[in-house]
Amino acid sequence: MPIYEFECEKCGHRFEEVVLKNTEKVICPDCGAEKVKKLMSSGSFVTGGPIVMGKPSSRAITTRGKSPCASCRGGNCATCGSK
C-alpha cells in the first residue's frame, strides 16, 4: 500500500497517509481541511559490498555463489583449514 506525505495548505501540518486510489480525498488530521498538497518523499536505503562501494575486486566477482577457495570441497573453508 502506498504511503504518501502531505502538507496542509491551511495549518501547515505535515502528515503521512495511506492512499489506495488517486481519487481518494485526503483530509488534514489536525484541522480537517481538504486542501492538502502531496510532498516529494525522500527515499532511504543502504547499499554496500565490494561491487557497489567502488571497483569490484576479482575475488568478489569470481567467488560470487561459490566457495571462497577452489580447493574447499566442503563449501566451508573451516573444513579445509584455509582462511
Residue identified by cell 498538497 is 37
* Terminal alpha carbon distance of the chain: 46
- Tens of pLDDT, residue by residue over 36-54, are 999 987 766 666 655 555 5
Q: Which three cell numbers stand for residue 22?
A: 488517486
- Tens of pLDDT, residue by residue over 55-65, are 555 555 555 55
Backbone angles phi, psi at 80, to 5 degrees: -110, -5
Q: What share of the chain is helix, strand, coil (3-state, %, to 5)?
A: 10, 15, 70
pTM higher than 0.95 for the full model? no
Distance CA 47, CA 66 (A): 22
Percent of the chain topping pLDDT 70: 49
With a cut of 90, say whether residue 79 has pLDDT above it: no
Provide the greatest CA pair distance for the chain: 69
- Mean pLDDT for the chain? 74
pLDDT for residue 76: 59
